Amino acid sequence: MNKTAAVIGGGFAGVEAAVQLARRGIHVDLYEMKPHRFSPAHSSETLAELVCSNSFKAERLASAAGLLKTEMERLGSLCVECAKQTKVPAGGALAVDREKFSALVTSRVAQIENINVIRREVSELPEADCVIIAAGPLASDALSPVLNTLCGEGLHFFDAAAPIVSADSIDSESSFAQSRYDRGGEDDYINCPMNKEEYELFYEALITAEGAHLHDVDKKKDVYEGCMPVEVLAKRGKDAIRYGPMKPVGLIDPRTGHRPWAVLQLRKENDKGTLYNLVGFQTNLKFGEQQRVFSMIPALKNAKFERFGVMHRNTFIDSPRLLNSGFQLRKDPHIFFAGQITGVEGYMESAASGILAGINAARYLSGQEPVCLPAETMLGALSAYVADESIKNFQPMGAAMGLLPPVEEKIRDRAARYEALAMRSLAALEAVMVEEKL
């Protein structure tokens, strides 16, 4: 096959995509702008540079992060392989020596015959039979006009995002389903009411909670002002959020027959109704503080946070409108996207998207249809989320058990339920790998 591919970006997604293409006999030009130009977050010349953490989260299979890494390993992930070779003690997490990990990835890529690493900044799409854009969340100024041309209004800044909780962790006895003034479907929103005493305790905890550190690149006014964190709004006065995201008007608590003192509304994040977004609760609190403070809301006392709220500069595309679940651009099938620019959140999630984009780019070049992994797999569920056109306000998402469809058998114990989900996932992946010869 005398086909060529270009991959833009030498981060986790770009590396994995290039490796998948090269293993299938395709010549790959892998473009990386370092060391000639660095983003505000990067400092090393190596590929797959770790910036904000050396941890790839839990290793145990019965966890979202552990399941995703196991699936990636079975699909031939270079990043997971290198992570295990540079592992450092971290309890139940897979953590690595940052410098050794990135150096090993760089060395391994250099040894692959079909990959040519080109160290220069890209300002236009390279000439190739297919192109994978894996430019990361801090795409360069030279590349941004190209992205604007391809994506139009589908290119966003990610400001502050609200947390997401799993539906099965919401306390049904402390909540009720109702749209404000009964406008809309009765299950469009789950309402989490609070009385005056509960609200005042919550309010004091919220305004005194510790915020996350902001990097200089995240402090720019145009990244911050458009989406005010709930803790900032709360500091304007005790009733500021009661007249804002927690306003109780148009709602009646069926337990009391009266309007609550304050209400947090949860909105469906996906069609399956397995995930709910905390409406208006975009935040920059530390993750532990989010868990502590938001769990003070009675309906969220046992909440499983599938994604915590975050605030930082993060360029990403409106993937549900632009990509299919194979990470392929719908309007121009020779172009693929991978990594955080697609709206996956996390190192391994980015790498996983690169694996699937690389596999599907190779299939495109050989005249095959893209492979869509089953929704029962973590990577399949994550890619389905990225391409889910029912999502109205698309925001980045990492691996989460709440993305998976529930098992048929009702399992009350969470650990046992996650174990069952993981085993089903691996069986589904194995079946597809055999059928599609992956």
Joined tokens for residue 349: 């999630």
Show pLDDT as tens, one digit a residue, over the chain (438 residues): 689 999 999 999 999 999 999 999 999 999 999 988 877 666 789 999 987 667 898 999 999 999 999 999 999 999 999 999 999 877 788 988 888 999 999 999 999 999 999 999 999 999 999 999 999 877 777 888 888 899 987 777 655 678 999 999 999 999 999 887 776 555 668 999 999 999 999 999 999 999 876 544 444 443 334 467 899 999 999 999 999 999 999 899 999 999 999 999 998 877 678 888 898 898 989 999 999 999 999 999 999 999 898 776 668 899 999 999 999 999 999 999 999 999 998 899 999 999 999 999 999 999 999 999 999 999 999 999 999 998 877 888 999 999 999 998 889 898 999 999 999 999 999 999 999 999
Enumerate residues 6+ apart whose C-beta is below 8 A from 10: 30, 31, 32, 34, 47, 48, 117
Percent of the chain exceeding pLDDT 70 equals 92
Q: Which fold has domain 161-311?
A: Elongation Factor Tu (Ef-tu); domain 3 (2.40.30)
pLDDT digits (tens, 9 = 90+) for 82-100: 999 999 877 788 988 888 9
Q: Which run of H or of E encompasses 205?
A: helix 196-208
Q: What are phi and psi of 146, to 5 degrees?
A: -65, -45
Instruction: Name the residue with tokens 């966003």.
Output: 156
Residues of the chain with CATH 3.50.50.60: 4-158+314-436
How many other C-beta atoms can be found within 10 angstroms of the C-beta atom of residue 437? 6
pLDDT given for residue 141 in this prediction? 78
pLDDT given for residue 313 in this prediction? 61
Residues of the chain with CATH 2.40.30: 161-311
Structurally, at CATH architecture level, domain 4-158+314-436 sits in 3-Layer(bba) Sandwich (3.50)
Do 404 and 68 form a contact (C-beta atoms < 8 A)? no
Burial class (CB in 10 A: 0-12, 13-18, 19+), 185: exposed
pLDDT given for residue 392 in this prediction? 79
Between the CA of residue 77 and those of 54, 319, 344, what are the distances in Å? Answer: 18, 23, 17
pLDDT given for residue 70 in this prediction? 98
Of 190, 185, 186, which Cα lies nearest the Cα of 170? 190
Of 418, 405, 402, which Cα lies nearest the Cα of 276? 402
How many other C-beta atoms can be found within 10 angstroms of the C-beta atom of residue 422? 22
pTM of the model: 0.75
pLDDT given for residue 214 in this prediction? 54
